């Protein structure tokens, strides 16, 4: 199962991806987590990416696309993956087409987590990650609207929506139902 997870920052994609990854037996690949791991290990990529994460801006695509390409080429991703945080723009979606073509793989679908802006701001403020400060959150929401939301159209034919408001396990059973629907 090869899925892209879409949704605004704070929609709970990461939480859901962890659960779905276990149920489906495919790795959860989060570009945010990959960047944060590089930042805490102070790799050259991490040093470069840090300023963008701190500001809530997108890391330049050259860096992001190469990181995703190499992660998707690892053996554990051969039979599937849940891609969380990538693509985040139409350009990145086009890069993903190339990456998957090179790997001889095809997406099975796109899961779109739907949630109000009020709810996501509240969730991010209570999460308290380094980039969960009010002005940075506001910027991430603007970046989402301008760069990422157009993917809802780009992927229109492949999208299934999941209502992401509610308890964690309510949302994950909705997500699993949506994924079952993709098989048919």
Ligand X SMILES: Nc1ncnc2c1ncn2[C@@H]1O[C@H](COP(=O)(O)OP(=O)(O)O)[C@@H](O)[C@H]1O
Q: How far is the CB of 168 from ligand X (least distance, A)?
A: 15
Q: How far is the CB of 136 from ligand X (least distance, A)?
A: 8
In order, the DSSP letters of 75-137 are GGGTT-EEEES---SHHHHHHHHHHHHHHT----EEEEEE--HHHHHHHHHHH--TT-SHHHH
Residue choice 2, 3, 29, 32 for contact with ligand X (CB under 6 A): 32
In sequence order, the 6+-apart residues with CB closer than 8 A to the CB of 171 are 12, 16, 113, 162, 163, 164, 165
Residue choice 6, 29, 58, 72 for contact with ligand X (CB under 6 A): 58
109 is in an annotated binding site: no
2 binds ligand X, rule: CB under 6 A: no
71 binds ligand X, rule: CB under 6 A: no
Q: How far is the CB of 119 from ligand X (least distance, A)?
A: 13
């Amino acid at each position: 199962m090869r899925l892209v997870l879409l949704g605004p920052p704070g929609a709970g994609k990461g939480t859901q991806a962890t659960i779905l990854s276990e149920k489906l037996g495919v790795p959860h690949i989060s570009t945010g987590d990959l960047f944060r791991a590089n930042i805490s290990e102070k790799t050259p990529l991490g040093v470069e990416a840090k300023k963008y994460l701190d500001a809530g801006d997108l890391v330049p695509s050259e860096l992001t696309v190469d990181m995703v390409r190499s992660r998707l080429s690892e053996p554990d991703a051969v039979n599937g993956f849940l891609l969380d945080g990538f693509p985040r723009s139409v350009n990145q979606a086009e890069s993903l087409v190339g990456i998957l073509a090179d790997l001889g793989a095809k997406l099975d679908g796109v899961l779109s987590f739907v949630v109000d802006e009020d709810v996501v701001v509240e969730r991010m403020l209570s999460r308290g990650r380094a980039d969960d400060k009010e002005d940075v959150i506001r910027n991430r929401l603007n970046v989402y609207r301008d760069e990422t939301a157009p993917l809802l159209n780009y992927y229109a034919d492949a999208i299934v929506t999941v209502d992401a408001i509610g308890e964690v396990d309510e949302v994950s059973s909705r997500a699993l139902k949506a994924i079952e629907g993709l098989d048919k």
